[in-house]
Structure 1
């Protein structure tokens, strides 16, 4: 702008940092891209297991029994690592926010648009995901559908960003790339760049080691920063939602009777249920917050209860809880789960009668299933 008496001349800020360059941004972008891809794919698995469309429900697989534990553990562990990578990437590229003129061409406008959407959506995803694993929701919207929708925005903006930046990415992908050969600045900045990347890698490692123990139990002793610790809780298992929080009182359980609806409906008291053939399985509880823990469960096979109700082969199941209200008070289970011999209406946990917080008098336990669908305080089963 022309100088006027008493007014300063406005100029874009100048940056002297040597590592705010395309080579550093590309190196960090490789790691961040892998992290976002893993989070996106494992997030799709979690979403479709929790809220499957009707056409998919009968076909959801019950095996491997540890499948959801692995995918959701990866989702949360890699998502936490992505926080470090995202802010390191932003540090490397933030001087480009101040380029002048701000829009030089259609391609440059698309590039800046993709960056704006990617940064906004990426920061939203990692920070809301972080608050979700801590079970703190300081916003007016429902976390699950919004987090899922914004994940698609992140995926689309990443693809657009890669398409727009493809020439620079190719030029700086490796030390042997044409854009980085025999460049004095590249030789000068090499040690500093390696130190930066080692520092970022160390930060990612520290975050992972101090949180992944909530699902990878061999590292449970190092689980210092995660909100859950394996082995801590009633009967040696963590609890997300207590009986009190769910509104399940001792009076509600008094005189409990299981109702099974089907072609040949019937009911069972807790004593009658305990007299049926009991089976013991070892399965993990794996929650969307990322924690998981193996436990021994004892109870009656769901497929035996459905057969007694005259359910035709290939039937699914609807489960209703005593819980007063909640998004998962009613749960649908496809035929793969209902017919799996590992799927139980559990009465005991680790050899003891279920505590109130773990779903007394009866709860569902099934393989390869999110914890929110392992319905507690079951009062009714319906053949579907």
Structure 2
């Protein structure tokens, strides 16, 4: 005897288009902010050849702001996404599953959008804790799936545009057909969702918005916790950097007039100070007081041309980002330092002793530590 499929019946209220549209507006804003700031972060970390020399070094807090917004909007999107899925999940069980070409496109866009969105917020959240329980490289996959989310979201909005338009506001004609008694419940639901998004934001954003640092109950990092009052992502031990003695350290500057400096000679050059933030891709950031030699002065000693780029090479033996490159905007900025001191004290080993790069408006992973070589690039 052939059995017949009976889709489940959902009797709960608020699983309707009006509720889904109201939550979707908030989720859409979070996704757009997260996507745009994510693009900025990716270009800053992995600039294409045509943009490498055009990346700006000012404002000094630029990357701190955009990456802080990226992580904050991504975390805020988590309760919004869960609420959105709760509002629409009964539609996953509609029967028949495909009714027309338009319906098939709608369901395809929803399937791709849901899978990609859940993947993005889940992997992004784990990245803030530096936990990678997967075999693939996080950065390129996260970047590629971000475009998948954006494309499927545009397709989904295009397919659902008539319904979205009908339920966009209280004055929209489509809202008149909804039961009036659901209004208070819907407002309560939206208030709870906004409160949840606000709560996770307030209790995590202090890792970059330091005036709220005492509220970082859920943040994986506190901006004050770390050697010399500044967090670190990779320790000297994790980077394979052993004890570097002042007597044996040498800085090599390769250019038209190459030279090598001992640590004492580096300390003997004119020292400059700068108040600059470390802004990490995982979302935390904090300003600190740095003292060291201006990179532009070292380039001048090496006879570098005005628009030369610079490759910075670390003494680390393990881990990524052991080599970084700077366009001339960074290299010639008077605030870009080869820092020897942090907050008035000699650099701790985990902060890059004996010398590290610190530049304005630059991702933390590119602020190379344990610098052993500068190469002038034409």
TM interval, short-chain normalised: over 0.9
Cα RMSD between the aligned structures?
1.1
Q: 1:97 and 1:247 mapped to 2: Cα distance?
A: 51
Aligned equivalent of 1:104: 99
Q: 1:339 and 1:93 mapped to 2: Cα distance?
A: 53
Which of 207, 211, 214 is the aligned partner of 2:207?
A: 214
Give the TM-score taking structure 2 as reference length.
Answer: 0.98
Aligned equivalent of 1:368: 361
Aligned partner of residue 238 in structure 2, secondary structure: helix
Pair 1:34–1:80, CA change in 2 (3 A): same
Matched, 1:195 2:170: no
- 1:136-215 equivalences under 5 Å are 136-181=131-176, 183=177, 185-215=178-208
Matched, 1:123 2:108: no
Which of 192, 213, 216 is the aligned partner of 1:223?
A: 216
Matched, 1:272 2:285: no
Pair 1:299–1:150, CA change in 2 (3 A): same
Shift of the alpha carbon at 1:314?
A: 1.1
Matched, 1:379 2:369: no
Indicate if the aligned counterparts of 2:244 and 2:354 stay in contact, CA closer than 8 A. Answer: no
Gaps of 5+ in 2: none
Shift of the alpha carbon at 1:8?
A: 6.1
Pair 1:251–1:62, CA change in 2 (3 A): closer
Aligned equivalent of 2:338: 345
Matched, 1:20 2:27: no
Shift of the alpha carbon at 1:325?
A: 2.8
Give the TM-score taking structure 1 as reference length.
Answer: 0.97
Aligned equivalent of 2:278: 285
Q: In the comparison of the two structures, how many residue pairs are matched?
A: 377
Aligned equivalent of 2:230: 237
Aligned partner of residue 76 in structure 1, secondary structure: helix
Q: 1:358 and 1:11 mapped to 2: Cα distance?
A: 62
Pair 1:252–1:277, CA change in 2 (3 A): closer
Aligned equivalent of 1:248: 241
Q: 2:6 and 2:152 mapped to 1: Cα distance?
A: 30
Runs of 4+ in 1 over 2 A off after TM superposition: 7-10, 251-254
Q: 1:365 and 1:126 mapped to 2: Cα distance?
A: 30
Matched, 1:50 2:45: yes
Gaps of 5+ in 1: none
